A and B are shown apart, each in its own frame.
Chain A
Amino acid sequence: MTRINEALLRSLTPSVLGILVRRGADFAAAEDAVQDALVEALRVWPADPSPSSELHPRALNFVRAGETPLSREDPIRDPKGWLVTVAWRKFLDATRADAARRRREDLVDEEPPPGPAPAVDDTLQLYFLCAHPSLTPSSAVALTLRAVGGLTTRQIAHAYLVPEATMAQRISRAKRTVSGVRFDQPGDVATVLRVLYLVFNEGYSGEVDLAAEAIRLTRQLAAAIDHPEVAGLLALMLLHHARRATRTAPDGSLVPLAEQDRGRWDTEAIAEGVEILQAALARDRLGEYQAQAAIAALHADAPTAEETDWVQIVEWYDELARLTDSPVVRLNRAVAVGEADGPRAGLAALASLNDTLPRHTAVAAYLHERDGDLTTAARLYAEAAHKAPNLAERDYLTRQAARLNARLSR
């Protein structure tokens, strides 16, 4: 199986699932049936001979709900129709098996009911359902990756380094939690964005590239709903993703923004992110993702670290602090103030913040170094390393302490 086919398959997941639900399947059973159909497709579909066939116009000639696919045995010609047919059959099989187990006599119709025309986009409804506020963040993430992203339980389990059995339970529990939620109930975009943000930002790199998957899912959401914050999040992801290759050295150690090789930043992703952001900002409905994206765009726009427009970045942090009232934002603002108005100003901004905040000590160390107080900076870097929330940051901070200590002992 080639990558292209799998990507195409997964992009079809939400609409196929939506069709089954509109035909009357309950969400949990429909989701299982679509997963089974995806697995079947990966098993029986012929390998894609050319990468361009995904773009073949006939491949995207999808059937609508209630229509019978023109050719049930031609997945290349009509992949979505094929998936709907197979998933529906799987659903009927499972329902019948279930009914037999319970010794019920209920007759299940072989032919799918026509189903009403969708009032709202199915894909959008799926996002709302999978990010429902009754779910915990980790459950919402897992359910979104499976039901909207079309990933298998095994792939999700690998991405979050938990056993497959645990992830299977997490997903089925999540499905039970939302089983009473009506499918056509409107949801809150903010909860969906938080889940996608988590997918982008947290998780490990394994077989599945979660950051790329988050971008794909956010892009798909942006196509389903016109909302400046969805655009803002997509821009934010693209702008950060553009720097990914330069953020770590070959040995895995962190490379700070100021030392990254800007020539290797992905200019195409930056251009797209900036364009999406500008269109969103023009609508004058500012939100936290647009503000964060604006900061990322200002970094991306600077040809060298020295040319960064820190004054404007501080202004965006002020906006962000007004929007979120987050202490982490104020901490990052102190760094920007340190660059815009000098380290003393940065330390003054830092002084008003609680020193138990994550990375507070690391910021203090950096500002003291900029201020020329290497002894204090070295001590604080070592202290910050001790408190670091992950190995890469700990190693980075330990190296900073070691670098200063070596200079001090000369």
Chain B
Amino acid sequence: MAKYLLLKHYRGAPAAANDVPMDKWTPEEISAHVQYMNDFAARLEKTGEFVDGQALAPEGTWVRYDGEGRPPVTDGPFAETKDLIAGWMVIDVDSYERAVELAGELSAAPGAGGKPIHEWLELRPFLGAPPTITECTFK
């Protein structure tokens, strides 16, 4: 029982095997892709492993504190930002192996020519609650 974040990048991931930008696909290919993603999420709900899934707008704003009584400073977006998150899915699974299996399936979503994109997805474990029993001296 562990939660994992599946991260999809607009930018920053290694190149996919079927690396054609989405606006160069046919409308049917886009529909097939969207359908695949929806079906994947629905299937995870059925297996009791789905926690959350969201997509993000490609452009955001950078914000920082600017001192007492002053409004926050905003900046960006910066075109040179290397790592750009496109969206995520959170899953709750029994093992790391299962998380890898699911990420692999998601990466097989069809793209140009109806062929799998082989897109690189980033799999990150959540830091959960500390267990009661570890028998370590620091617990």
Contact = CB atoms under 8 A, between A and B. Distances in A.
Contacts of B133: 200-201, 236, 240, 292
Interface in B80-134: 92-94, 125, 127-134
B51 interface: yes
B38 interface: no
Which of the four size classes fits the interface of chain A? 35 or more
A12 interface: no
A383 B134 CA distance: 19
B129 A202 contact: yes
Contacts of A56: none
Contact of A201 (B45, B51, B132, B138): B132
A232 to B, nearest CB: 13
A392 B46 contact: no
Contacts of A171: 48
Given A138-B94, A139-B48, A332 B136 contact: yes
B47 A201 contact: no
A257 interface: yes
A247 B139 contact: yes
A166 B49 contact: yes
B70 to A, nearest CB: 29
Chain B interface helix/strand/loop/mixed: loop
Chain A interface helix/strand/loop/mixed: helix
A397 B59 CA distance: 36
A258 B138 CA distance: 8
Interface in B6-34: none
A160 B92 contact: yes
B50 interface: yes
Given A138-B1, A165-B45, A256-B139, A201 B131 contact: yes
28 contacts: A138-B48, A161-B51, A162-B48, A162-B51, A165-B45, A167-B48, A173-B46, A173-B47, A198-B1, A200-B132, A201-B131, A201-B133, A202-B1, A202-B128, A202-B129, A204-B129, A247-B139, A256-B138, A258-B137, A292-B133, A295-B135, A335-B136, A359-B134, A359-B136, A362-B136, A389-B127, A390-B127, A393-B130
Interface of A: 136-139, 141-142, 160-163, 165-167, 169-171, 173, 198, 200-205, 211, 236, 240-241, 244, 247, 254, 256-258, 292, 295, 328-329, 332, 335, 339, 359, 362-363, 366, 388-394, 396-397
